[in-house]
Amino acid sequence: MIEHTFLHYFHSEIFPSNKEEMLDAIENADLRPDQYCSWTDGCLVKFERLDFKNNFVEIFKPSLDQFFDDIQLNISGLKLFCQDIWRNTYTKGFFQETHDHLPCNLSGVVFLTDEQEGDGQFYFHHRHASEVSNEWRSLGFSPILGGQRKFVKAERGKVILFPSHMLHGVSIHKSDNIRKTVSFNLIFNTTNLMP
């Protein structure tokens, strides 16, 4: 039997019980006055920082509860802080380079539009896929988790949550459709959880 020696790459895809309320809140959120962010220099996307941190835990609680239930972690006493939340709009030619969200702890994406043919696609990038030798590749072996990239289909209202160290990006948007998402980063305060 094959055993997975290490497992620290995972994500959860969630359709929260308060999907419509969540979509309404984030689509109608005010913008923050400070809109510049240095990471946008390496990609091509319309970036809008949302003034939503105060409502974050209330709106995203069903998604977060389901995520921590899925990975079977008891988070009673864990304090979560929204480090930032922003909306991304993609038009033809826009993309997001492969990146992570360190030093944050948990990151998420909410799809505001359904994926259509030619749209940019969200993906996770397996940072260790290049370590598989050519000999193993010629035998047809690809790294666990399905190769170098795993794509996640965009569906309106779907929330994906994942550890912030995971590499991810969005492929080039080749259609005339508008593609929209909201992304966010959380920081844990585990002080009260330490023995």
Domain residue spans of the chain? 13-188
Return the CATH class of domain 13-188. Answer: mainly beta
How much is the pLDDT for 117? 96
Q: Alpha-carbon distance 127 to 167, whole Å?
A: 7
pTM of the model: 0.88
Annotate 124-135 with DSSP letters as a single string.
EE-TTGGGS-HH
Q: Do the beta carbons of residue 59 and residue 18 sit within 8 Å? A: yes
pLDDT 10s digits, 168-178: 999 999 999 99
pLDDT 10s digits, 1-28: 555 556 678 899 999 999 999 999 999 9
Please compute the mean of the pLDDT values over residues 65-78 and round it to a whole number: 87
